[in-house]
């Protein structure tokens, strides 16, 4: 049995792309061959300190509060302190677990506080292989701007990368960032995936009818859809501002919640499209396939994006995509106007440009033949490269098996 220790700032029930990736991969690896344990922040007092989630034994540490929303602006001060201390508390917890039963390798999810914790463990246990996974789409300049402490600790921060035995990036954009830091070791690009079977599965006619009724979709309506944390940095506001430039039967369904929901509702009122914007509220990841199935176009005009699992999920569901050419998105989305030599898989819009969003949506509406071609190509691409079963097998062969010899 090969024991793997994962360092991650957050984990279920707090779910983003990184957390989904950990679970999808660990659930697909043989529990008779691999044993996964994780150290993460507890955040909420109601959560157990130790819990088995899928194939991972989760150890939650740090100060906790009640009814916590994991967001930098909404995080209670005690949780902010726990986050700041995580590199040290996680290292101490890891050392205790390692003494009880040694680990064959460590896995740090991103070069943040979790990466610092894994780095300290690497210094204390240099013979234990250390694997760093990178999913954050922020440039190094943005990291320094958002986290002033990184500027003060830049030499130490770089060692999160430099001490890794192998690094995995989920896009070529992030791969280039790792090289900019100065990492010269083994660096793999393995994207996040999608559960193609679940996202491509048919939804019963009754369930679809119920969802359409719930969200007010009538015959002839075209629903744009996005799933996002509601903050003024995800481009949701640009889609809202695009609606006045589109026919009245084009509406916008938003799954997600966040601290800027009231501001987004105000933007919709100011644009006189409040009745055309449906806020579905928080949606579990398991609910997304059905919401995609009642929608017509997935739109996320991202400002930054490490890769964007939501886009390939839309591909698998058979929903055409509008996206911005930022971060890792150009790895899989090919616009026929921009990439004429590639089989098209989507349409690009410009960043922070509602008029460009509207034009991209209109291209789908005006050309159903091209839309059908894009949907077909996108589905084939997902099946060939982005299924989680394939991703998990590639990680097993290229990372876990090779590091734990």
Label residue 228 by pLDDT band (50, 70, 90).
Answer: confident
- What is the rounded CA–CA span in Å between residue 37 and residue 284? 24
Q: Specify the higher pLDDT residue, 177 or 234.
A: 177
- What is the rounded CA–CA span in Å between residue 181 and residue 162? 8
- What is the rounded CA–CA span in Å between residue 295 and residue 288? 11
Region 319-330: mean pLDDT is 96
Say if residue 239 is in the same domain as residue 159. Answer: no
Tell whether the model's pLDDT for residue 155 goes beyond 90. Answer: no
pLDDT digits (tens, 9 = 90+) for 61-95: 999 999 887 766 678 999 999 999 999 999 999 99
Say if residue 329 is in the same domain as residue 280. Answer: yes
Say if residue 231 is in the same domain as residue 376. Answer: yes
Tell whether the model's pLDDT for residue 150 goes beyond 70. Answer: no
Tell whether the model's pLDDT for residue 146 goes beyond 70. Answer: no
Region 324-338: mean pLDDT is 96
- Residue 176 neighbours by CB under 8 Å, 6+ apart: none
**pLDDT value of residue 149:** 66
Say if residue 175 is in the same domain as residue 206. Answer: no
Q: Give the phi and the psi of residue 301 in degrees, each rounded to 5.
A: -85, 70
Say if residue 337 is in the same domain as residue 211. Answer: yes
Say if residue 35 is in the same domain as residue 84. Answer: yes
Closest alpha carbon to 108 in 144, 135, 75: 135
**Considering its fold, how many domains does the chain have in total?**
2
DSSP of 19-72: HHHHHHHHHHS-TTTEEEEEEEEEEETTS-SEEEETTEEEEEEEEEESS----T
Tell whether the model's pLDDT for residue 122 goes beyond 90. Answer: yes
Q: Is 182 left (phi over 0), alpha (psi -120 to 50) or beta?
A: left
pLDDT digits (tens, 9 = 90+) for 350-389: 999 999 999 999 999 999 999 999 999 999 999 999 999 9
**pLDDT value of residue 284:** 87
Q: Is omega for the bond preceding 188 within 30 degrees of 0, making it cis?
A: no
pTM of the full structure: 0.92
- What is the rounded CA–CA span in Å between residue 403 and residue 34? 13
- What is the rounded CA–CA span in Å between residue 288 and residue 166? 33
SS3 288: helix
pLDDT digits (tens, 9 = 90+) for 18-66: 999 999 999 999 999 999 999 999 999 999 999 999 999 999 999 999 9
Look up residue 361 and give its two tokens.
């949506």
Place of tokens 């691409």: 381
Label residue 264 by pLDDT band (50, 70, 90).
Answer: very high
Label residue 234 by pLDDT band (50, 70, 90).
Answer: confident
Tell whether the model's pLDDT for residue 263 goes beyond 70. Answer: yes
CATH number at residue 244: 3.40.50.2000
- Residue 103 neighbours by CB under 8 Å, 6+ apart: 3, 4, 5, 37, 97, 128
**pLDDT value of residue 154:** 80
Say if residue 31 is in the same domain as residue 176. Answer: yes
Say if residue 117 is in the same domain as residue 232. Answer: no
Region 159-174: mean pLDDT is 97
Say if residue 228 is in the same domain as residue 164. Answer: no
**pLDDT value of residue 213:** 95
- Residue 236 neighbours by CB under 8 Å, 6+ apart: 226, 228, 230, 254, 264
Tell whether the model's pLDDT for residue 189 goes beyond 90. Answer: yes
**pLDDT value of residue 68:** 84
Could you give the C-alpha distances from 74 to 41, 65, 228, 394, in angstroms and in order? 16, 12, 16, 37
Q: What percent of the chain has pLDDT over 90?
A: 85
Closest alpha carbon to 282 in 96, 97, 15: 15
Label residue 232 by pLDDT band (50, 70, 90).
Answer: confident
Say if residue 134 is in the same domain as residue 262. Answer: no
Say if residue 112 is in the same domain as residue 75. Answer: yes
**pLDDT value of residue 143:** 67
Range of the domain at 258: 196-385
Tell whether the model's pLDDT for residue 233 goes beyond 90. Answer: no
Label residue 129 by pLDDT band (50, 70, 90).
Answer: very high
Say if residue 20 is in the same domain as residue 144. Answer: yes
- Residue 7 neighbours by CB under 8 Å, 6+ apart: 38, 39, 40, 90, 94, 106, 107, 108, 109, 114, 115, 117, 118, 121
């Amino acid at each position: 049995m090969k024991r793997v220790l994962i360092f991650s700032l957050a984990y279920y029930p707090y779910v983003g792309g990184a957390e989904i990736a950990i679970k999808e991969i660990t659930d697909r690896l043989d529990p008779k061959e691999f044993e996964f344990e994780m150290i993460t922040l507890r955040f909420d007092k109601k959560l157990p300190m130790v819990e088995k989630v899928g194939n991972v034994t989760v150890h939650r540490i740090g100060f906790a509060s009640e009814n916590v929303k994991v967001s930098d602006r909404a995080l209670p001060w005690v949780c902010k302190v726990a986050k700041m201390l995580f590199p040290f508390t996680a290292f101490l917890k890891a050392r205790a677990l390692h003494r009880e039963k040694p680990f064959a390798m460590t896995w740090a999810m991103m070069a943040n506080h979790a990466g610092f914790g894994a780095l300290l463990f690497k210094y204390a246990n240099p013979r234990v292989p250390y694997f760093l996974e990178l999913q954050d789409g922020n440039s190094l300049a943005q990291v320094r701007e958002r986290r002033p402490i990184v500027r003060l600790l830049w030499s130490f921060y770089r060692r999160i990368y430099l001490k890794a035995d192998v690094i995995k990036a989920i896009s070529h954009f992030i791969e280039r960032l790792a090289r900019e830091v100065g990492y010269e070791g083994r660096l793999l690009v393995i994207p996040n995936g999608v559960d193609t079977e679940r996202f491509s599965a048919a939804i019963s006619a009754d369930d679809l009818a119920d969802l359409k009724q719930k969200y007010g979709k009538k015959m002839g309506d075209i629903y744009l859809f996005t799933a996002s944390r509601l903050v003024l940095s995800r481009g949701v506001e640009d889609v809202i501002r695009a609606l006045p430039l589109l026919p009245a039967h084009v509406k916008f369904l938003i799954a997600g919640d966040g601290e800027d929901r009231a501001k987004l509702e105000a933007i919709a009122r100011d644009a006189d499209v409040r009745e055309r914007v449906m806020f579905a509220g928080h949606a579990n990841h398991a609910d997304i396939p059905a919401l995609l199935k009642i929608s017509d176009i997935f739109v996320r005009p991202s400002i930054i994006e490490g890769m964007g699992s939501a886009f390939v999920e839309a591909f698998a569901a058979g929903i055409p995509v509008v996206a911005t050419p930022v971060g890792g998105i150009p790895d899989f989305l090919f616009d026929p106007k921009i990439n004429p030599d590639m089989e098209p898989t989507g349409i690009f819009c410009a960043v922070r440009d509602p008029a460009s969003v509207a034009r991209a949506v209109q291209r789908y509406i005006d050309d159903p033949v091209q839309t059908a071609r894009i949907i077909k190509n996108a589905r084939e691409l997902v099946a060939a490269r982005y299924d989680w079963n394939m991703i998990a097998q590639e990680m097993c062969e290229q990372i876990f098996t090779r590091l734990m010899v």
